[in-house]
Structure 1
C-alpha cells in the first residue's frame, strides 16, 4: 500500500486521479460546510480519499489497457522502433555502439544490417530484449533522473487518457447536481450557496476544456517517443561505467 505514495505513483497515478475528479472535489469543498466538524465532513473527507484511490487504480488499469492500441497506431513500441536502422531519430553511429554494448550484456548476437533488412521481426525481438535490460538497469532515479522524469510524464499522460471518459462523466454528473441545486434555489446565484455553485461550474468548465483539448492520443505518443529515446540514450551513461559494474 505504501507504494501508492512513492514518487512515480503520486505523479503518474494520483495526479491524474485528482485532475479527473477535480469538479467532484471542488463540489465537496464548496458545497459542504467546513466551519464545524460534523459527520458530513468526515464522510465527505473519506469519500474524497476513496474516490481518489479508486480513480488512481482505474487510471493505472485503463492506461495499461489502451497502451497496446496506442503503440500499434504509432507503429510499434518506441524503444524498439527508434532502435531500428531505418529510424533517423538517433544517429546511426551511436546506435551501432549501443547494439554492440547490449549484445554483450545479453550474450546474444546483434542483427547485422542485412539481417535486419531481411527479417525486421527478428531484429525487433533483439531490440525488445535490449529495452527490458535497459529498464532493469536504469532504476536508479537519481542517476537517471531525466529518464525517470520522462517515464513519469508518459505514465501521467497515458493514465489520464485512460480515465478521460470517466472524468467527463463525473464532470457531467457534478454539473447536473449543481443545476438541480440552483433550480431548487430558483436560480438565485447571488445566494451564498449559489456563489459556491458558480465556482464549481467554473471549475467544471475549465476541467472539461482541458480534458477535451489537452488529453489526447498524440500527447501520449509524443511522451512515449521521448521516453523511448531517453531509454536508448541511457546506454551512454552505462557505457561509461567500469566493466563489471552493471550485470
Structure 2
C-alpha cells in the first residue's frame, strides 16, 4: 500500500488545490465502498499489473472522478439557487437584503459600476426591473471572481469557495453514491452467502466484513451529514465574502 500511497501523492501534484478539495475528495467519498471492495477483495499479489494500474490508471481515474463530481454538483446548483431566491452574490447586493450594511453596498455598487461599465441599479430598478438589476450584479460578480483568483491575496475567499464546491459536489453525488453503496453491499452479501458457513479466521471473510463496515459508515455519513442546508449555508458564506472582496480593490485604488 505504500507504493499506492506514494503514487497517489505524486498524481495529486497534477491537480490544483481547488480541484483536489472541491472535486476530487467528494468523488472519492462518493465511491469509497467500491474502492474499499476493489483493494480488499481483489488478490493483488496474484497480478503483475498492480504497479501498472497504480501508475498509469490513477491519473485518469482522478480526472474522471473529479469531473464526474463537478458535473453532479453543477446539475443541482440551479435548484439550490431557486430554493433561496437566487444566487447569494446577487441577492445580497439587493437593498432589501440585510446581510451586509447598506452604506458598504452603496460604495461597492459605485465602484463595480466603473469596472463593468454599467450604470448601477437604483432601488426602483430592483423593484420594477429586477432582471436588469440582477444582470448588473451578475456582471459585477463575474468581475470579482475573475479578479480574485490570486489565492495568496484572497485566502479566505478561496477557502470559502472550496468549502462551497466541496459541499455542493458532495450533495450532487449523494444518491449515486448511496446506490453504488447498495450495490457493493449486495455483492458482499452474495460473497458471504456463497461462502456460508463462514470461517471468520479466513482473510476473505475478514475483508468482506471490513468492506461492509466501510459501507455502513459511508451510508450513515451521506444520509445524516450531506444536507441541502449545509450547501446553502456555504453558498451564502462564499457569496458574502465575494462581495466583501470589493473592499480590497477600493482600498487599493485609494492607496494607488
How many Å separate the matches in 1 of 2:249 and 2:89?
Answer: 17
1:119, CA displacement in angstroms? Answer: 2.5
Structure 1: gaps of 5 or more residues: none
Aligned-pair CA distance for 1:146 = 0.6
Inter-CA distance 68–138: structure 2 relative to 1 (3 Å threshold): same
Equivalent residue number for residue 210 of structure 2: 199
CA RMSD of aligned residues (A): 2.4
Partner of 1:61: 71
1:187-212 C-alpha deviation (Å, 9 max, x unpaired):
41612211111111010001001111
TM-score normalised by L of structure 2: 0.86
Q: 1:52, CA displacement in angstroms?
A: 4.5
- Secondary structure of 1:231's counterpart equals helix
What is the aligned partner in structure 2 of residue 116 from structure 1?
126
Structure 1 residues 128-165: Cα deviation after superposition (integer angstroms, max 9, x where no partner) = 11101111111111111110111111111111111112
**What SS class does the counterpart of residue 111 from structure 2 fall into?**
helix
Deviation track 1:78-97 (CA, whole Å, cap 9, x = no partner) reads 10001100010111111111
Rate the CA distance shift 1:41–1:184 in 2: closer, same or farther, 3 A.
Answer: farther
Return 5+ residue gaps in structure 2 as ranges: 1-10
Alpha-carbon contact 1:151-1:227 (below 8 Å) kept:
yes
Is 2:53 aligned against 1:12? no
In the alignment, the residues of structure 2 paired with residue 203 and residue 50 of structure 1 have an alpha-carbon distance, to the nearest angstrom, of 25
Q: How far is 1:72 from its partner?
A: 1.2
CA contact (8 A) 1:11 1:152 kept: yes
Question: Structure 1 residue 41 and structure 2 residue 33: aligned?
Answer: no
Q: Does 1:151 align with 2:142?
A: no
Contact 2:23/2:166, CA 8 A, preserved across alignment = yes
Rounded Cα–Cα distance in structure 2 between residues aligned with 1:193 and 1:38: 17
Q: Pick from 210, 213, 228: which aligns with 2:224?
A: 213
Conserved? CA contact 1:28–1:44, under 8 Å: no
- Alignment length (residue pairs): 244
Cα distance change of structure 1 residues 165 and 139 upon mapping to structure 2, 3 Å threshold: same
Instruction: Give the alignment's TM-score, normalised by structure 1.
Output: 0.89
